[in-house]
Amino acid sequence: MPLIRRSAALAAALLFVFASVPAGAAAADQPPGYPADYELPNGHFYTQTNAGTKDPTAGFSVTDEASIPLWSQFQQLGGVPAIGYPISGRFQLGAYIVQGFQKAILQWQPDAGRAVRLNVMDMLHDAGKDAALQADHLIPPQSAGDGDRLKLLDFPNDAFKAAYASVPDPMAGFGVPTSPIVDEGPSYTIRLQRTAMQLWKKDEPWAKANTVTFVNAGDLAKEQGLIPAAAAKPEPGRLVAGQADVTPWSGWWWPSLSAGDGGPHVFDRNGPLDKYDGLVEKLTGTDPQTQQWELAHFQFFDPALDWAGKCNGWAVAALTEPEPVAPVTVDGITFSVADQKGLLADYHFADPAAWLIGDKEGGVKAADFHKTLLDWVGRQHKGLVMNAFDGTQQVASFAVFRFQAVYLPDPADPVNKTHVRMTVWAADYHVDPNFVGLKIWPDDKAKTYSYVIYGDRTNPTAGDWEGDSVSGPFAHPQNLWYPDTRPESRNLFGELTSPALDYNVIQRILKGSA
């Protein structure tokens, strides 16, 4: 769907080509890992047409805001393939709200309850732009005419008729012809109410000979000043994202109940600690009895207790230790992947928090949750442990390593009040104990929280949880924290792991060395 600008040299003209609209096109200089477009709570945001701004995350939103469902109408009319990417925000045109797209300008008609394509080429004619369109873009001027204007599509090879009939409702999409077919040099061109069609005489970079392309009428309207400068300026991006430098791994939660919890346990016969004790006794002649210590301190028999385990120890290990990926044999004793991960989870179960936000009563405040993810994961590129309520006293720990926040300015106070949809990617521990790799919690869509923040989006003064993030199972986190893994800090709040569980021995096991 190119529009070329006529000049003395066609090569120079190509510098001013309006390119066709490729599916999934990405904006130039997009930050690594940053999506070219993304969902909003009530629409979509596109960066593909942000040329002219130094901010590669800027773009245009198409939404259903203010009871004007332009996003819904945009999709109903065929979305990007049919309408193109947005090239403006909303603006007032006469008595109506409109928005510009590459191929069309959509006008919301409240009485009809729908959006329609404006006759953009007629608008350009009325604005006195015909001479410029012909001189710069090989588009003939609009001409008066009566009778069956569809007969103007007649051409010896039927190319224009076939192109016109290529959509289900060409009258709604293109309008009727408003000029005869004109030989414009490189192409034969016919003007319509909402676009123009160009039949190319020879192969061009954008089209083969004897093929028809459609002009991007919205782009023309923007170029010719029909779209106000304020509306044509890309808006700041509505998405902020961050990721830790290290991706955690999934593991098992190693429950501490005596039975009925699905096992296995670190204290099982022939389990991680039993094998550890056996190896140390073979090497030193002394049984460190870490298995017996665990049985005495962390085997629970209370029938009213339906949960207890070492998911927080696993989460710390997943953030700070390389993943064991294969069994190792040391002095005749084979440690499976599960055994190795179990030893790491049990050892790090005793690590305290270097910092922690939130409390067991109300959990993390929305503003603190927001600021911590932006700073710790986004700016410092570190993972963290998230303790999540499950709706009871139970707390589940997950290893967070990535986030993506989408902003929705509040219609009543867009400057100071922002609604946020924060998606958090975390490693899950509901896997087979010998699982290798990463499983996302709670599923591949990750976990999304809803809240509102006040003031600066990067450093809000306050916030409130919203929607399904206010209360209920896993509504919002209890704590965010990062471990203090220094040996001298372990067991600061009581003995949580056997003092005889030696980190150096664990590391030798992981390396398969005695």
Report residue 477 as tokens: 């986190």
Domain boundary among 191, 226, 261: 226
Spatial strand order in the sheet of 86-93: 86-93, 96-101, 105-109, 114-117
Same domain for 288 and 370, yes or no, is no
Same domain for 90 and 213, yes or no, is yes
Same domain for 293 and 370, yes or no, is no
Domain contains 394:
yes
Same domain for 185 and 314, yes or no, is no
Residue among 39, 35, 16 nearest 421 (CA) = 39
Averaged over 473-493, what is the pLDDT? 91
User: Which residues span the domain enclosing 453?
Assistant: 240-246+353-487
Amino acid 217: pLDDT: 97
Domain contains 258:
no
Same domain for 42 and 181, yes or no, is yes
Same domain for 24 and 169, yes or no, is yes
Amino acid 99: pLDDT: 98
Amino acid 44: pLDDT: 95
Averaged over 30-54, what is the pLDDT? 83
Burial per residue of 181-215, b for 16 or more beta-carbon CB atoms within 10 angstroms, e otherwise: bbebebbbbbbbbbbbbbbbeeebebbeeeebbbb
Averaged over 91-95, what is the pLDDT? 96
Averaged over 225-251, what is the pLDDT? 94
Same domain for 311 and 451, yes or no, is no
| Percent of the chain scoring above 70 in pLDDT | 91
Using the predicted structure, report yes or no on whether residue 214 has a pLDDT greater than 80.
yes
**70 or 147: whose pLDDT is higher?**
70
Using the predicted structure, report yes or no on whether residue 7 has a pLDDT greater than 80.
no
Residue whose tokens read 């732009």: 129
Q: Model pTM?
A: 0.75
Domain contains 222:
yes
> Which residues pair with residue 114 across a beta bridge?
109
First to last CA, the chain: 69
Domain contains 260:
no
Domain contains 49:
yes
Report residue 414 as tokens: 């867009």
**335 or 360: whose pLDDT is higher?**
335
Domain contains 188:
yes
Amino acid 63: pLDDT: 95
| Percent of the chain scoring above 90 in pLDDT | 75
Same domain for 373 and 413, yes or no, is yes
Using the predicted structure, report yes or no on whether residue 12 has a pLDDT greater than 80.
no
Q: How far apart are CA 448 and CA 387, in angstroms?
A: 15
Residue whose tokens read 């990007």: 80
- Average per-residue pLDDT in the chain? 89
Using the predicted structure, report yes or no on whether residue 148 has a pLDDT greater than 90.
no
pLDDT of 183-210, one tens digit each?
999 999 999 999 999 999 999 999 999 9
Averaged over 428-434, what is the pLDDT? 95
Using the predicted structure, report yes or no on whether residue 390 has a pLDDT greater than 60.
yes
Listed in order, strand segments (DSSP E) in 370-429 are 384-389, 395-409, 417-427
Residue whose tokens read 């190693």: 254
Report residue 118 as tokens: 């404006």
**If phi over 0 gives left and psi between -120 and 50 gives alpha, with beta otherwise, what is residue 24?**
left
Q: Among 104-113, 301-310, 375-384, 460-469, which stretch is predicted with the lowest mean pLDDT? A: 301-310
Averaged over 432-451, what is the pLDDT? 96
Using the predicted structure, report yes or no on whether residue 463 has a pLDDT greater than 70.
yes
Same domain for 376 and 480, yes or no, is yes
Q: How far apart are CA 457 and CA 374, in angstroms?
A: 10
Same domain for 328 and 357, yes or no, is no
Q: How far apart are CA 224 and CA 127, in angstroms?
A: 9
Give residue 1's pLDDT band: very low, low, confident or very high (50, 70, 90). very low
Please state the domain count of the chain.
3
Cα dihedral value 472, 473, 479, 484, nearest 10: 170
Q: Among 68-77, 345-354, 484-493, 502-511, which stretch is predicted with the lowest mean pLDDT? A: 484-493
Alpha helices in 77-206 (DSSP H): 79-83, 120-126, 130-137, 159-164, 170-174
Using the predicted structure, report yes or no on whether residue 182 has a pLDDT greater than 90.
yes
Give residue 56's pLDDT band: very low, low, confident or very high (50, 70, 90). confident
Domain contains 218:
yes
Same domain for 369 and 311, yes or no, is no
Using the predicted structure, report yes or no on whether residue 258 has a pLDDT greater than 90.
no
Give residue 306's pLDDT band: very low, low, confident or very high (50, 70, 90). low
Is 242 within 8 Å of 249 (Cβ atoms)? no
Q: Among 27-31, 109-113, 175-179, which stretch is predicted with the lowest mean pLDDT? A: 27-31
Same domain for 26 and 136, yes or no, is yes
Amino acid 260: pLDDT: 59
Report residue 253 as tokens: 């939660």
Domain contains 4:
no
Strand 328-330 relative to strand 333-335, pairing: antiparallel
Using the predicted structure, report yes or no on whether residue 15 has a pLDDT greater than 90.
no
Give residue 140's pLDDT band: very low, low, confident or very high (50, 70, 90). very high
Q: How far apart are CA 193 and CA 122, in angstroms?
A: 6
Is 351 within 8 Å of 263 (Cβ atoms)? no
Using the predicted structure, report yes or no on whether residue 5 has a pLDDT greater than 50.
no
Amino acid 279: pLDDT: 97
